[in-house]
Structure 1
Amino acid sequence: MLISMGFIDLVISSDGKEYVTRKHLQTECANECLAAGGRISLTDLASQLNVNLDHISGAVNQLVRQIDHEEDHVNISTSNDFLICAGELIHRDFINGLCAKLNEQLEELGTISMLQLTRQWELPTELLNQHILTELGTGRISAIRFEDYLCTNRYINTLKGKFRAMLIGLTKPCPLTEIYSYLAVSESFFFLLLNELNDQGKLPGKLLGTKNSIKSLYVPFIHERMAKQFILQRLSEEHFIECSIMKRLSISGEPISFFRELLPSTEFNDLLFWPSVVLSESLLWKECDLLAKNLLHSIHFCLIDDILPVKLISVFNDSDYIKIVEILQKGWNEGYLRTTNDRRVIFDHSKLLSNWLKSVEEFIHERAVKDAPELRKAQLNAAISIQKQLNKEEKKQQKDDDWEIEKPSKGGKGANKKNRSGGGSSHQTSSRSGKQKAATESNISNKDLLSCASPFSSDELFTELERCHSSSDFQIPDTLREEIADDFIAEVNNLYRRFVTEEWEQQLHQTTAEEQQAQRQAFEQRLNKISDEYAAICLFEKGTDYFEEAICTFVGFLN
């Protein structure tokens, strides 16, 4: 009753047999914590002191908040040396002891993971984060925290020294993945060491690739210096350097940027940058360009491989040949240069055709002289055959027109009178005859054997062309043959027909006067005969208009 009325402040034990003041309960809690080594759970306090857990919680809270200056309790640490964390009463000395042990382990091992600490000492995360890790860098714990690890400065410096020693030992580019495999650290810690070395200027190389990417490439400075020396030596000896070699030497950036930093401006301006190579204009390309122009002037075409060094040809690709063609076309002032589809041959089309025609002109003329009589004979025979066919068709048509009489219709005489009028029929007949004659004459023109003559094959012409230039080791590339064959054969055929025509005219002028007179008389006789036959036919047609109706009917029946 007194306790409930608040006249006395006592706490009853769990079994109800003892009473204890709250002040004394706080003292008992403090003593039990110290006796347990500075760390005890509240549930253990409740069982050991035989007091309800609620009273224990209230007592330790009061212990943490209040400071007791009474002389009876001078042997007990002040209340601010205690703290409650994760359901445990902990004394400050316990935390200091953990910091000392942790510092000793760090000095021995160099690094400890947070997970290892929580498992080894069974520490709650709250205690570790709020009361132990806060001592980092204060002198109690000489370490730094990186992610889930604690590391001493000596350990980090040792790793940086090992890391730098590995990098110094490298003389060629190396992937970071290979370097990383030799350090037993996490990837993030690996880049911490790498970035610190770089920031301190102790990195004996540079990185190619994305920052903090394990796929980047490390290039030692010594390799870069040796690569530059090699490139300069290669340029001085060969006067060119392949871009593929520069890539294998891990030269970063574009070649034009690299050489702008490497060479003086005068030497840099002398370089030509092509897709596959970098070459000297004055020491290499100028000689190639001069050789190309000499070939274009002499034989009017140039095989690009013939003007280049063999070593240079082996590294070229299609883009380089396109670049060469553009340069040669731009520097040629005597017309437009064409190129084959594969960009391996460049040529002056008009001059090349003229030169080739001139080379095979004698060969073509000999063939024309040989073929002219046979062609003339064949053409005359064809013309005579067509003329006979024309005459035959005219006679047949004239016969049909002369005897074309309509059968009498049921209407009687009216129909025959209409038919005997004759004017419209004669006009239609002459019109059809004129059209057929014009068509036949057109057919004769279309079947001109000379205009269709093409006696040469491309292989025959090119063989003869190479034979004409055999003394100069002349050889026509296959790609150039394919490119220009049609145009060349067309020009050859035109020249051949001209020679044949000239031969015919020459033969015509060589005929005697008697032969010409005989031919003229034969032609006039034939013309007179045709005129007489035509007049007789017209007279016969006119006489049919006077036949009686019965005779016309009888004649129509006979037909």
Structure 2
Amino acid sequence: MTAVEWDEVKRLAADFQRAQLSSTVQRLSERNCVEIITKLLDLKLLDVVFTTDGKEYVTPQQLTREIRDELYVHGGRINLVELVKLLSVDLNQIAARAAEIERADQNCSLVLGQLIDKTYVNRIAEEINERLLQQGQVTIGDLTRHYDLPSDFLQMVVEKQLGKIIHGKQDKTDPQVFFTESYVARNRACIRGALAAALRPISVATLLSQCGVEERLFYSIIGKLMETKQVPGVITGKQQGGSSMYIPAIYSKSQNDWVNSFYKQNGYLEYDALMRLGIVDHQLFVHKHFPNEKLLLLPSFAVGPQIIDQVEAAVEEAIATGSMVDIMPLLPSLFEPQDAGEILTEVLKNTKIKSPSQNMHIFCSTMVLTEQFIQKLTKPFDAIIQKKAEEVVSSGAYLLAQAESKLQNNRNLIEQYEPNTKGDRREERRKKATGGKGGGGTQGRETRTKSTKKKYLRGKATAGDDSDEETTSATGKTSGSSHKLEMLSIAEIKEVLAEDETLQEEDLGELIAEIANHLYPSLNKSGLAAAETVFESTMASSAQSRRKTHSDLQDKLNAMFVNVRLFEKGIKQFADKDIQQQLVKYLLKTLCTEITNDVFSYIAQENMFQYDQTKELSPEIRLKILNDSPNECKEPLLKLHKSLNTSSIEEFLNCVEAALGPGVCDMILRKPDKKKERPQLLGHRQALLEQLTSSEDPALVLHLTALILFQAMTQTMLHASGRFVSNILTYLQPHLTAEVFNTLQRYHDLVLKLLTTGSDDDSRSQIVNALKEGMPAIKEIATSFKKHSSTE
């Protein structure tokens, strides 16, 4: 504002004052005053602040003066919001004036919307000092809640007035805590008295509740007390949350005395006992308390060298005598088998015991068995293993295990290489499908090749079968061929071990079980080796007798083949075709089936097929042998098998010739020789007569008599069952005298009555007596009958 303008303002103000003081008739209206002030504001000749009602004006200087007046009236602290209500001025204007006052006056502060001067600060400092004298300590947090002022402001006030208005000390560990010396001395005396009176461990939380001391102050006081040795004891645990413990020195001394006495008497320490004494960290306590002792720390005990030396001496004695020892009786009764096992492990680490020549085994965690003792236990198994080896070889189980292992090895090889070649084979098939099988170029001609399959004999090892992991011997046995064959079961091993004198105590059942599990692999390995030896010797001896067996079977089959032809001639003596068919079926069912079974059995033995040799071959077993046979044998064997279900003896004989021929059984079938038929007939009749002489069964006697009479009459042999006796008698009737026929017929009727009469029938005994009385006559007819006597 220029001087001219300021002079103009002064002139206007003087005029305005004269106008106000003069009592003239002319006056300014309110509107004129508003216009004048507005004009002055527009010309920036006047600076005023509007009130909230808009009816009054106040200059900034006046507003500042009124704010200071209100601050004084309110005791040096007033809220800006209250000034809005008291002065009717906008909050922004008051906040601006308050900030100006804070900048201009160092004794005034603007704190969180409140204007505070030095008088108020001094007054609260005096109040804090009185509070500190009464309570002994104050915290900034409590003062913040009490005065509703920020903690930073109160912290600054207290630290600034500390030693002036406020008489106290600031806590070094917590700057927001202030206390007096008398308060610290009082709490120190209380804590020192409580700790001096303690005779057993007490938790810090209990001490804090009893003494009424804060945890922070407690640890600072007790630290100084321990430095000056004013309290006999130590603080253990974390110094946080009152979880630490105070242990008096007198308690520690009695505790150590007990531990020393117990260890000296027993040679070990139990962790549960240490826990009852209040020792929480057992292993740390043991390390600190016995720094020079070589203690073995177990999960529940700390074992001293005295006990370990006893166990070591017992083990050394067992090694020297080649026996066994149980260390549980040497240990205290509180020890568990797991503890004994760890002690044994520690003892066996001793270089004096552990040597290459001594091999020891631990069983049941507490028992030490030397290798000599175990070898003594295995001696009774030698004879058992040899017997088992002979049994598995003779029963064929060993050979079956060989075949299964060989088959499994082949499958493993196929599975190993199949995934790698699968994609190549698919690509090769695709190329063949798109490009043809011929050679390259347009002149390539498609050629067809016949698929061939390799012929394998199951159960036999070929000369070219080699494996990376198994070696094949001359007998076809591989090193892994009998892994599924169990020579001795664990139960059998237990039975043999239980008979040993040293293992016959009642509480050694678990030991026997563990020894059996330990011996199981080695005994079975020895058994398989013995079985291999027996098998090789058996194969060697069987190779020598094989030729003889082949020759004997060839002679037997030739004899049976001739008998079938002779029986066929006898069947043809009957004119009734129905009877002929029934006799043919019976012959096929019996003698022909026996020939077929012999052929199939020979094929099975040659190819080492496994089947139950104690039972007769059923059609199912024959088909199984047929399916497993080599390809060149399948067709002749299949025809022979099917011929048993036909009604032609001639067809069966032709199939037998093909089955016995080269490529199948390799047997020579002799041609029929009529010169040898008569000795065959005489031999058959003699066999029937011998059987008749020794027989006492009425039905069998009649049956044999009918066959003997038929052969004597027709000079042919007949193979028939008892159900054909009536048909044979009907055929013989024209050739027999009436007396002989009637005798045979009556005897036949009695036999039928006997077979149809129940066991409780009274007439049965009469029929039996009649049959016994008539049996000599029937036998006489058979032995004395001649062909010429019937013609007479």
Deviations 1:324-377 (A, max 9, x none): 14514752656211122x31221124335427969x99xx9xxxxxxxxxxxxx
Q: CA deviation at 1:207?
A: 5.0
> Which one-letter code corresponds to 2:342 in the other structure?
I
Matched, 1:102 2:136: no
Contact 2:125/2:157 (8 A) holds in 1: no
Map 1:140-539; keep pairs closer than 5 Å.
140-144=166-170, 146=174, 150-179=178-207, 181-182=209-210, 190-195=215-220, 197-198=222-223, 201=226, 205-206=233-234, 208-210=236-238, 212=240, 214-247=242-275, 249=277, 251=279, 255=283, 258-259=285-286, 261-263=288-290, 265=292, 268-269=293-294, 271-281=295-305, 283-295=306-318, 297=320, 300-310=323-333, 314-316=334-336, 318-328=338-348, 330=350, 331=353, 335-340=358-363, 342-354=364-376, 465-466=500-501, 477-485=508-516
- Identify unmatched segments of 5+ residues in structure 2: 14-44, 384-390, 396-459, 461-474, 476-486, 531-548, 560-666, 675-792
> Which one-letter code corresponds to 2:219 in the other structure?
L
> Which one-letter code corresponds to 2:338 in the other structure?
D
Q: In the superposition, relative to structure 1, how do residues 243 and 17 fare at CA in structure 2: closer, same or farther (>3 Å)?
A: closer
Percent identity reads 17
**Length-normalised TM-score, structure 1:** 0.51
Q: In the superposition, relative to structure 1, how do residues 483 and 136 fare at CA in structure 2: closer, same or farther (>3 Å)?
A: same
Contact 1:45/1:56 (8 A) holds in 2: no
Deviations 1:408-458 (A, max 9, x none): xxxxxxxxxxxxxxxxxxxxxxxxxxx9xxxxxx9xxxxxxxxx999x977
Larger-gyration structure (1/2):
2
SS of the counterpart of 2:226?
A: coil
- After superposition, the CA RMSD in angstroms is 6.2
**Alpha-carbon distance in 2 for matches of 1:56, 1:469:** 103
Q: In the superposition, relative to structure 1, how do residues 245 and 108 fare at CA in structure 2: closer, same or farther (>3 Å)?
A: same
**Alpha-carbon distance in 1 for matches of 2:668, 2:314:** 83
> Which one-letter code corresponds to 2:110 in the other structure?
C
Contact 1:137/1:144 (8 A) holds in 2: no
**Alpha-carbon distance in 2 for matches of 1:144, 1:240:** 53
Deviations 1:137-182 (A, max 9, x none): 4453425374765543433443454445444544444555555555
Contact 1:99/1:141 (8 A) holds in 2: no
SS of the counterpart of 1:102?
A: helix
Q: In the superposition, relative to structure 1, how do residues 461 and 228 fare at CA in structure 2: closer, same or farther (>3 Å)?
A: same
SS of the counterpart of 1:339?
A: strand
| Higher RCO, Cα 8 Å, sep 6+ | 1
Q: In the superposition, relative to structure 1, how do residues 259 and 120 fare at CA in structure 2: closer, same or farther (>3 Å)?
A: closer
> Which one-letter code corresponds to 1:315 in the other structure?
F
SS of the counterpart of 1:477?
A: helix
Contact 1:100/1:140 (8 A) holds in 2: yes
Contact 1:206/1:220 (8 A) holds in 2: yes
**Length-normalised TM-score, structure 2:** 0.39
**Alpha-carbon distance in 2 for matches of 1:122, 1:147:** 20
Contact 1:305/1:344 (8 A) holds in 2: yes
Equivalent in the alignment of 1:519: none
Contact 1:11/1:20 (8 A) holds in 2: yes
Q: In the superposition, relative to structure 1, how do residues 138 and 323 fare at CA in structure 2: closer, same or farther (>3 Å)?
A: farther
Q: CA deviation at 1:459?
A: 7.6
**Alpha-carbon distance in 2 for matches of 1:32, 1:545:** 155
SS of the counterpart of 2:359?
A: coil
